[in-house]
Amino acid sequence: MSGNKAGGTLKKLRLLLAATVALSVVLSGCSSGEADKASTATGNKGGSLKVEIFDRGNTPQGYTITDSYLTRYAKENFGKPNDIDLTYVPVQRSEEVTKLNVLMASGGDVPDIVFTYDSGTFERYAEQGGLTDLTPLLNEYGPNLKKFLGEDTLSYGQVGGKQFAIPGKRTILGKYSSFIRQDWLDTLNMPVPKTTNELYNTLKAFKEKDPGKTGGKVVPLGMTMESGQYDPLLWSFIKPVTDEQKYTLTQELGSRDYPILLPGFKDGVQFMNKLYNENLISKDFGLDKDKKQLTQDIQSGNTGFFSEDYDNIYYNDSAYPNLLANQSTAKLTPMDPYTNSEGKHAKPEFASNGLYIMVPKSSEHAIEAIKYLDWMSSEKVLLDMQNGVEGENYTLKDGIPVAKEKPTQEAQDRIYNQGDVVIIANGKIAGDDNKNKEAFVLGMPSQFQEDVRKAMDISNTDTISPVKFDHPIKAESKYSNSLLDKFDEMVVKSVMVPPAQFDATFEAALKDYMVSGGQAILDERTEAYKAMTGK
């Protein structure tokens, strides 16, 4: 037998064995599982809990992804008092959905708590019966958790009126700001542009006059095929729509809404085509999906204007600090130039949920899972796990944790992955919305805090909320991955052709998109809207 055949046979035997074990759990594990849950429900301590954790390959020396300051904190403060053996199961962040699918198919090997950012993945598991209905457990064992999350956030984890996921709470809903080289504007004696047309004229001036003295390398508008760059531009071209149009013509792919069928989308892509043919945007934007070229162009001082997640450029060792290291007199100003037909600076915002935190149906430790999340939602635990040790990682100012300017390496390493361990919160928790925002700002490098505050305000201006049905759209789960590729292809091809070829190229790409699943989504959303409204 060849090596390949032997390996294939062995793999099949392993899968068969796993399936047999999983089936035996389903057939014979009910009584033991119910007994385990009943035992916990009567108040007896003990048990185990396996929790997924993202591995981003950035664990500092002295720790491992499963043995760090935060995992030790959780074991000491939750596991030990409750006599629960708490362990963590690492999953590569870049392989989140793929690895989760493998884990969910493995039956008994799946952690008791798993999660994903992808709404389609969550909805598919829920509809296929792969998740535990957490509704009664949340009511009985999660009072703090319910209060912390609130009804709106919890609703994102419901399918058919049942709570199949505990959504993480996103504290700041704003996404995007735009940024411009203020020193270039000053050199040209030009104001910060306030409209799309003023921005266009500014980009032309950057191209023609090269105020940054780039030697012909100037990139007036930095662009990639990552949403932070094209979303603010494209959504600003969307025209006013009715509720029916908003619900039926929007398409949710992955975890974001796309305006592909909304009136004005084609105009936005055509504006990008105009910019491209006038050499005003990044030439290789279609290849720059990881933003490496954009980041390099910003840091090298070649980019005059770009849009981005409002906070991304301000972190240590990110684009803005590195630009200043190369050009100490450079200055980036947060601004909001894209205007729609109503004069608003329309841009998408996040939904109020972050991660979808799930308990697989095969788990016998759903009660422990809810208790763990409920414990994590307490004020003291959130403060400790998100911020580290008072006096070493942070100080308190009016009840808000303020990161220390120069913490020791030991202090920094403590909370290097707090966002991946404190899974119930996406963003700093300090109290109400204003305190949460201020806590985030005060956690940034002090030299950038005022700009971060301004960029955050921009990200929350004239925002467009995600469209939410009362049940999953199955066609979106089915076609999402392939349609994301079709969307990228539609934009890149349409933008890069000569203006005379734009209409034909765009229409052909749109037709391909629709026959590849776009029409199925449109049809299902139309029916869902009729059912929801009774029209």
Please check whether residue 397 is in contact with residue 443, taking contact to mean a CB–CB distance below 8 angstroms.
no
CA distance 416 to 63: 11
- 15 pLDDT higher than 50: no
Mapping DSSP to helix (H, G, I), strand (E, B) and coil, where does residue 25 land? helix
- 32 pLDDT higher than 80: no
The residue with tokens 């629960």 is 84
Please check whether residue 290 is in contact with residue 232, taking contact to mean a CB–CB distance below 8 angstroms.
no
Of residues 495 and 477, the one with the higher pLDDT is 495
pLDDT digits (tens, 9 = 90+) for 112-168: 999 998 888 898 899 899 999 999 999 999 999 999 999 999 999 998 889 999 999
- 371 pLDDT higher than 60: yes
Closest to 112 (Cα-Cα) out of 48, 17, 156, 44: 48
Q: Mean pLDDT over residues 387-396, rounded?
A: 94
Of residues 213 and 22, the one with the higher pLDDT is 213
pLDDT at 8: 40
CA distance 47 to 45: 7
pLDDT at 31: 32
- 464 pLDDT higher than 80: yes
DSSP secondary-structure letter at 349?
B
Q: pLDDT above 90 covers what percent of the chain?
A: 75
Task: Give, in order, the Cα–Cα distances in Å from 185 to each of 181, 322, 464.
Answer: 7, 20, 30
